[in-house]
Structure 1
Amino acid sequence: MPIQEGFRNQRLTVVPRRVAADAQARAVTRRLMVTDCGYYPDAADHLVNRPNGTAETILILCAAGVGWAEVDGAQHRVGPSTAVVIPRGAPHSYGASKDVPWTIWWCHMRGTDVPELVEGIGATASRPVIPIRRLDRAVALLDEVIMILERDHSPASLTGAAGTAWKLLTQIVLDRAMPAPGDPLQRAMAYLAERLDSTIRVADLAALVGVSPSHLSALFRRATGGGVLAHQTALRMAQARHLLDTTDATVASIAREVGYHDPFYFSRHFKRMHEASPTEYRDRAKG
């Protein structure tokens, strides 16, 4: 059952440490496990001080109001639509603003994969506060974690909570990698997606969105792992697969629609990427 600790309408559940220790020996939960989680609305006078840190990594999502966190001796403001990630073992304290106390969703996590997931998020002890682009989605996932663990602490529930927490962390990784609406990378990606049948030089695209070609290429590599032309090719191939799956259009007409005027070149390129020609891909999909 959830434990009540003094904030009106709060939710809080703690996995017994014996149960958590047993879960660390099981296949999934040894990689990631939620040991504590909760929701503190309008948490006036909330204050936590842990000079020796904790055995878990802590994620605190601020949904409204303002708070602060001191990690490794440096204090940081925590506002709406941000999260603070406190690494395992880091000395820390945190609390709510006196004037506009925060509303937070939070969880403690342990497991062999947690450090890599935190690294993917980009949070460190020196820079623990990160923006949350889709607050509604993050809150929904933390709410699901709490609901699962409020029900019971069975192996199945611990596994379900781990899966949802994994989804939360990887979604934050994805959101931080993808461009914000209106920024140069987002506008460049939208331009390419709307003009699959056109050819554009990287220099022209960079000028269109107001950055240098080298900077635009760096933005694409950081977000997608490849350059501008690689992203354009991936978009074209995704649309080609969609047309092969959902229409009876000829390979030649699909090639033209996705920017390849030579259907034989398109087919060779498609086969190199998919280990099947467009016709073979279509036949295999129908089977």
Structure 2
Amino acid sequence: MPARDGLRPQRLYAVPRRQVTAALTAPVTRRLVVTDAGYSPAAAPFAASRPAASRHTVLAVCASGSGWAQLGGRRHGVGAGAALVVPAGTPHAYGGSPSSPWTVWWCHLRGSDVPEVVEALGAPVVPIRQLDRAVALADEIVARLAREVDADGDGRGAARLVGVAGAAWKLLTQLIADRSPAPEAASDPLRRAMDYLASRLDGTVRVPELAALVGVSPSHLTALFRRATGGGVHAYQTTLRMERARHLLTTTQATVSEIARDVGYGDPFHFSRQFRQLHTMSPTDYRRAAHPAP
């Protein structure tokens, strides 16, 4: 279960070891499997010391603050907008800065292809060009693993682990791509913020954190959204969520509760009320109207 730091929940999830063992011999996941993942805000110290090393590779995305890592007798600084990569079998220690504790998303990786990916990254500390995108993917890994762990025993564990692995592949390939020369022009903060919202429909978005990710002040980000869309950040996210909900209602047999969770509503009744406010009909009536009985 997630721990609480008093400000924002720390999240720590681990796949049962029997599932990890099975995944490492199964198609797809034998190449990469996420065994553990979590989110640690500045108020919940993220640190470890493993002088005997371990069988998994550690990947951590630092969104704010700073930290350090000791690998192979060398100390490395890890600042905001960087990823820490600790290869399997490497004795190591890491922790946040006492004066500026880091906020990190992290995961442990195993699989036949992981060493090759680590080699492609080329360094234990990797600069991240699109921090907002990396954070979205890292948060997706944690959210997907949480659903997998919570649903353990439903018979779909292997399929869920494939989804988690897919998110991890996306993050790793982005980090590899970020090693190439940066484009001359800086990316547009509004577009980056919109892309983040589109990629994390099931996540909770805080305007100050989103603004920090794209490098502008919260007031400036709000002004950019109002100028472009006529509404604020959360109104835009609601628009995206309802667009996704309409698509799922008309193209799948998912229940209203399942669709609500998919688009970020923990309470299906709240989702239904908001859907009705925007569409003047319930989700169920919307589905019936899209597929009238013969």
TM-score for the superposition, normalised by structure 2: 0.57
* Offset, 1:46: 3.8
Alpha-carbon distance in structure 1 between the residues aligned to 2:125 and 2:184? 21
Pair 26,80 (structure 1): closer, same or farther in 2 beyond 3 Å: same
Which blocks of at least 5 consecutive residues in structure 2 are unaligned?
Answer: 150-156, 187-294
Superposed, 1:1-287 pairs within 5 Å as 2-4=1-3, 8-43=8-43, 45-123=45-123, 128-153=124-149, 154-181=157-184
**Structure number, greater radius of gyration:** 1
Alpha-carbon distance in structure 1 between the residues aligned to 2:183 and 2:69? 26
Alpha-carbon distance in structure 1 between the residues aligned to 2:109 and 2:96? 22
Alpha-carbon distance in structure 2 between the residues aligned to 1:18 and 1:171? 30
Matched residues, percent identical? 52
* Offset, 1:66: 0.9
Alpha-carbon distance in structure 2 between the residues aligned to 1:92 and 1:15? 23
Q: Please name the residue that 1:192 is paired with.
A: none
* Offset, 1:101: 0.4
CA deviation string 1:123-156 (max 9, x = no partner): 2xxxx11101111001101111111111124111
Alpha-carbon distance in structure 1 between the residues aligned to 2:77 and 2:131? 18
Residue 170 of structure 1 aligns to a residue in which SS?
helix
* Moved beyond 6 Å, runs of 4+: none
The RMSD of aligned alpha carbons is 1.8
Alpha-carbon distance in structure 2 between the residues aligned to 1:162 and 1:47? 24
CA deviation string 1:185-217 (max 9, x = no partner): xxxxxxxxxxxxxxxxxxxxxxxxxxxxxxxxx
Aligned length: 178
CA deviation string 1:199-240 (max 9, x = no partner): xxxxxxxxxxxxxxxxxxxxxxxxxxxxxxxxxxxxxxxxxx
2:126–2:175 CA contact under 8 A, matched in 1: no
Residue 156 of structure 1 aligns to a residue in which SS?
helix
Which blocks of at least 5 consecutive residues in structure 1 are unaligned?
Answer: 184-287
Residue 76 of structure 2 aligns to a residue in which SS?
strand
1:55–1:89 CA contact under 8 A, matched in 2: yes
